[in-house]
Every structure is written in C-alpha cells, then in structure tokens.
A and B are shown apart, each in its own frame.
Chain A
Amino acid sequence: MNKYVERLYNGLIKENPTMVLMLGMCPTLAVSTRAMNGIGMGLSTTAVLILSNLVISLLRKVIPDEVRLPSYIVIVASLVTVTELLLEAYIPSVYEALGIYIPLIVVNCIILGRAEAFANKNKPLLSVMDGVGMGLGFTVALTLAGLFREVLGNGTAFGFRILPSGVQPIAIFVQPPGAFLVIALFIVIMNAIGIKTRQKKLVEGCDGCCSTCASTCKEAEK
C-alpha cells in the first residue's frame, strides 16, 4: 500500500485515536451530545492537528530536543487560537455549541501525542497525511458517539426527527451520565467482538495521555 494511503487507514481504523488508542477522552465525552457537535469538534481538531503536524515536522531539525514540549505547546496553542477566532467569526453556531472545549483542544492528548510520536520524526507531507488520518478517525468516532446519543436521547439525527412521535426518547443519554455509558458500551462491544483496544492505558497507572506524563510514569514505576 502507498505509504500516504497507509497513514489514512492507520488513523481511521488501525490506530483510531478514540476507539483504539483511547486518547482525547475529555472532548469525546463532553461534546458527543449531538452528531453535529461531534463533526464540528472533530473537524476543528483535525484542522489544528494537520497544521500542527505540518509546522512541527518542518521545524523538527530546528527545535532543540530539551525544549521541544514547550515549543509544541506554543505552536498548538497559537493554532488553536486562530481556529477559535475563525470559528467565532464564520461559524458562530458551532462556536457557541462547543464553548470552552475549543480552547481546550490545546490539551487534547491526540495533538501532542502525534507531534511526539510522528511529526517530529517524519517528513512534512507524510506528517500532514498522518494528521488527516488521525483527525478524520477522531471525527468519525465523535460523530458516531454523537449520533448514537442524539438518536436515543433526543430522538433526532443531525437535527431531524427520526423516532416516531409516540416514542419517548431516553433523556439520560444526552445528559452527562449518558456519555460515560455510551463510551463504556462501545468498548464492551469492541471487546466482545475481539477488537484489541489499548484501554489498559486508560485505567491502569499512567493513562498514556501525553508525552509529558510518560516521563512521569517512568519515575513513578521506579
């Protein structure tokens, strides 16, 4: 397989950041109340991820190793600010629906994780493709979770009513507890049909959250 196409497959399916690697749980749980929110959040994160992978890959020989994490954070935070301002100006409905979770893209583990694991070792074009793959993988997972919750909890899909009017939606699914339940259900299904997830990272010791805590975990093990 072409190595660029392989990056897309890797991000979407093989190493899907949400469903397989269990990264970026905060936004997944928080904004998956509606399918549209999932798409908005997913695409905003994808845009930041593609650009951050590109910039970090271009600068990979310039940034000294010791200060790479602070540098990445500054790069990502600048890109997030740009995205936030663009959303506020051009798509205010998405900006209002996502609220505080847009600036919090800065601390999304997927972005720093890909910078550390991929972009600082690979050529710009390949890093961009990695960003596209990972970002779309995140978008698809968020949209699916959002669709599932919206249909069950609100009786609509992308804002259109699909349940017959006599059926009462189960409101708990669009409320906070529903987020935990739906993600738990997804993992149970994947476990039951035998897809290997890295959920151990999520519940045992270090959560595999970011590169920063990777070093912490080594110290903790000692």
Chain B
Amino acid sequence: MKALILIMISGALINNVVLNQFLGICSFLGVSKQMKASASLGAAVIFVLTIASAVASLLYDLVLAPLGLDFMKTIVFILVIAALVQIVEMFLKKTSPAVYKALGIFLPLITTNCAVLGVALTNVQNGYNFIECVLSGFGTAVGYTIAIVLLAGIRSRIQETDLPEPLRGAPIVLISAALMSIAFMGFSGLNI
C-alpha cells in the first residue's frame, strides 16, 4: 500500500512530468494563458492518461511481452493512444455532451502530448504491474494539472506587469517555469 501511494506522489510531485521531465511542454506553455482552459486541459489529461496507462499496461502484459514483441512497443503505444483519444472523444460526445463541451477541443491535442507516450513507456521500463501503471498514470496527470494551473495563475499576474521589451512573451513564461521548477526541486528531498 505504501509503495502504491509513493508511486502516485512521486509521479505528481517529485518527478513532476513537466517541470522535472520536460514532457508535454508544448501544451504547458501554449494553453496556460487562461486559467479556465488550463483546468479543462488538466482534467482531460487526467482522464486520458489514466485510461491510456491502463490500456498500454494490459496490452504490454497480455500481448507484447508473451509474444516477444517488446521492440514494437513504441509503434503500438502511439497508435493505441491515437485511437483511444478518438474513441474517448466519440464516447463523450454521445454520452455526456456537457463534459464533451468542456474537454472536447483539448482531446485531440492530447494525442500529440508526449507525456502520454512518455508515461506509458516509463511504466513498462519500470516493470510496473497493472495497478501500479494506473496509479502512476493518474499521479503523473495530477502533477501535470498542478503545474499548468499554477503557471496559468502566474501568467495572469504577469500580464499586468510592465516588462522590458525583450522579455515579453515566451522568455518570461519560461523564467516563471524555471522558478516553479526550483520550487518543485524541494520535493526531491521527500523520503517516505
């Protein structure tokens, strides 16, 4: 039980997917302009990453590993993730239009989010079992959401400040991310 909690906390805080491992930087910098959009994207990532980790884990344990097709994992995972996002999108459209309206436009973005493929591959590399994979996927996605929502908050304050010309735009956002990353380094001392 302790190990499972540790996997989640490690995914969310200690090895934060954006600030420590640099996965999903594109959407982290691109979407964090608005708080509402960031929170919705975060929710969509939690949803997709948890399902994708579960599916990838099952597929690897039941199909790829027994057949000795370990080397096919990159191709299989990326296709499964792309297909999965499509299915989730269609499923949400039919069953809960309200959720679809909130998350819909962000779902296709997630296919190209390297965090999803990155987590699926890391799980396999670490030799996690099914439950550990799901928790690790969920924890990582929560970490992503924390990071993007925090950055969106910081950026809403930056917009009101008077910055020197060359710092405007991407540089100040990257510097904010660097400062957040320093703060998150504090978690690496966490030994549970």
Q: Contact residues of A with B, CB < 8 Å?
A: 22, 25-27, 29-30, 70, 73-74, 77-78, 80-81, 84-85, 100, 103-104, 106-107, 109, 112, 172, 175-181, 183-185, 187-189, 191-192, 197, 199-207, 209-210, 212-213, 215-216, 219-220
Nearest residue, chain B, Cβ from A32: B22
- Number of interface residues, chain B, beta carbon within 8 A: 49
* Contact across chains for A207 and B29 when beta carbons are under 8 A apart: yes
Nearest residue, chain A, Cβ from B106: A216
Nearest residue, chain B, Cβ from A80: B74
Nearest residue, chain A, Cβ from B168: A191
Query: In the complex, what residues of A have CB within 8 A of residue B105's CB?
Result: 216, 219-220
Q: Contact residues of B with A, CB < 8 Å?
A: 19-27, 29-31, 33, 71-75, 78-79, 82, 105, 108-109, 111-114, 117-118, 121-122, 125, 165-167, 169-175, 177-179, 181-182, 185
Q: If A104-B117, A187-B170, A203-B170 touch, does A209 touch B78 (CB 8 Å cutoff)?
A: no
Q: If A73-B78, A73-B79 touch, does A179 touch B108 (CB 8 Å cutoff)?
A: no
Of A81, A100, A203, which is within 8 A of B30 by CB? A203
Complex Cα spacing A201 to B29, Å: 10
Q: If A188-B167, A207-B27 touch, does A78 touch B75 (CB 8 Å cutoff)?
A: yes
Complex Cα spacing A196 to B1, Å: 53
* Contact across chains for A184 and B109 when beta carbons are under 8 A apart: no
Tell me how far the C-beta of A209 lies from the nearest C-beta in chain B, rounded to whole angstroms: 4
Query: In the complex, what residues of B have CB within 8 A of residue A172's CB?
Result: 182
* Contact across chains for A203 and B166 when beta carbons are under 8 A apart: no
Complex Cα spacing A205 to B114, Å: 18
- Beyond A30-B22, A77-B79, A176-B181, 12 extra complex contacts between A and B, CB < 8 Å: A29-B25, A77-B78, A81-B74, A100-B125, A106-B117, A109-B112, A188-B171, A191-B167, A191-B169, A203-B173, A204-B30, A209-B27
